[in-house]
Amino acid sequence: MGWIITSLLLPIFTPFLFYWALKGFAFPSAPKVIQMIKDGQLGWVGVGFACSTLYEIFEPGTGKTMSIEAGAGYAIGAAIVFLCASSVIAAVGTMLPVVYPKPASVSWVKHYQILIKSVGLTAASALLYGLVHYGIVGVRTL
C-alpha cells in the first residue's frame, strides 16, 4: 500500500493539494481546478509512470536480486507505447488547448476529450507499473 501511495497516488494528487492550499490561503479567485489538467497535463504523469516501469524492469531493486521473466519483452513494449502515447496527449493538449468555460453548444465529453483520454492513458500506465512492481509481469524478486 505504501508503494501505491508514494509511487502512484502522490505524483497524481500532490499538485491538487498544493493548488487547494494556495487557493485557500493566498489566491481565492484562482482558476478552476479542471484548468490544471484539461489540456492533457496528466500525460506527463503517464510518461513518468512509463519511464519508472522501464527502470524497474532493467534495474534490480536495492538489495534485491531480480530476474527477467518470460513476457518481459511485451511489458517493455507496452511501457514504450504508453510513453509515446502519453507524450502525444501532452503535446497535442498544449498545441490545441480548449477554452474554459466550455461553450454551451459542445458536449462535456467532446470538449474535454483530451482530459478524458489522458486520464485513461495515465491509468493504463499506472496499471502496468503496478504489475511490474509487484512482479506479476516483467521481473520477479528472487
Q: Which residues bind other proteins (CB under 8 A)?
A: 40, 69-72, 74-75, 77-79, 81-82, 84-86, 88-89, 92, 96, 98, 113-114, 117, 120-121, 124-125, 127-128, 131, 136-138
Report the nearest approach of other proteins to the CB of residue 18 (Å): 27
When the beta carbons of 66 and 72 are compared against other proteins, the nearer one is 72
Q: How far is it, in rounded angstroms, from Cα 57 to Cα 23?
A: 39
Are 111 and 102 spatial neighbours (Cβ–Cβ below 8 Å)?
A: yes
Nearer to other proteins, 74 or 100 (CB): 74
Which DSSP symbol is given to 101? Answer: S
- Residue 139 φ then ψ, to 5°: -130, 160
